[in-house]
Amino acid sequence: MTAVLGIFGGTFDPIHCGHLELAREVRAALNLAAVRFIPAGDPPHRAAPVAPAMHRLAMVELAIAGHPGLQVDTREIERRGRSYTVETLEELCAEEPARILALIVGGDAFLGFPGWHRWRELFELAHVIVVARPGVAFELALPPELAAEWAARLRTDASALATERAGGIIVQPITAHAIAASAIRAELARGAEGIGAVRGLLPAAVLAYIDRNQLYRSRPDAA
């Protein structure tokens, strides 16, 4: 069976335990060869990240250390201009044409696909794994143009990831993790008190890195 590489992009601002558990759970459930984290340099679909790219990359590297099957890719941080997913997938396909790619996205991100740069071409380059939170029927909110792709591409058998070159949509339920990077940043802005509040939500090495580099601190007395 052909090995499938999972692609997991995002700002990871900061990366937290929810990101890690999602990647590990999806990899195990779908028998992916690996999951590659690709931190965005200049994300086009959301506000600019709070932490500089070099710090976000360093935090991802610390977070995945010691986790077999989890990798990091620096190309979007090194690339000039906007971090378009379609360009990343094109590069990956060009580097190893025989490799099958599977783009991992959350349900909310999937609903926004029609606003992504050259979004229809994503299906020509990779499969799409839509991570579903328990009890959230995101497919009921699909915009018409995406609903048509959904109807044509949805696969109920995950083996399609390895038997088809690209273009399938697989829905993968995962365990719910009530961890949000925005809430973590809000706590960290409170300084030492916030550090204690988020302990356990991020890998210890990442939290130590944040504290050491004084990231996400906004109050004058927290500097």
Please count the helices (runs of H) and the strands (runs of E) in the chain: 11, 6
Amino acid (1-letter code) at residue 43: P
Alpha-carbon distance of 73 to 181, in angstroms, equals 20
- pLDDT higher than 60, residue 220: no
As given in the structure block, the two tokens for residue 10 are: 């995002």
- pLDDT higher than 50, residue 219: no
Residue written as token pair 């349900």: 107
* Inter-residue contact 164 to 127 (CB < 8 Å): yes
Model pTM above 0.85: yes
- Residue 146: CB partners within 8 Å, gap ≥ 6? 110, 111, 113, 114
Alpha-carbon distance of 10 to 6, in angstroms, equals 13
* Burial class of residue 7 (count of CB atoms within 10 Å of its CB; 0-12, 13-18, 19+): buried
The whole-number pLDDT of residue 75 equals 97
pLDDT in tens, 80-120: 889 999 999 999 999 999 999 999 999 999 999 999 999 99
| 25: region left, alpha or beta (phi > 0 left; psi from -120 to 50 alpha) | alpha
**pLDDT > 70: what percent of the chain?**
96
The whole-number pLDDT of residue 48 equals 86
Interval 167-188 mean pLDDT: 93
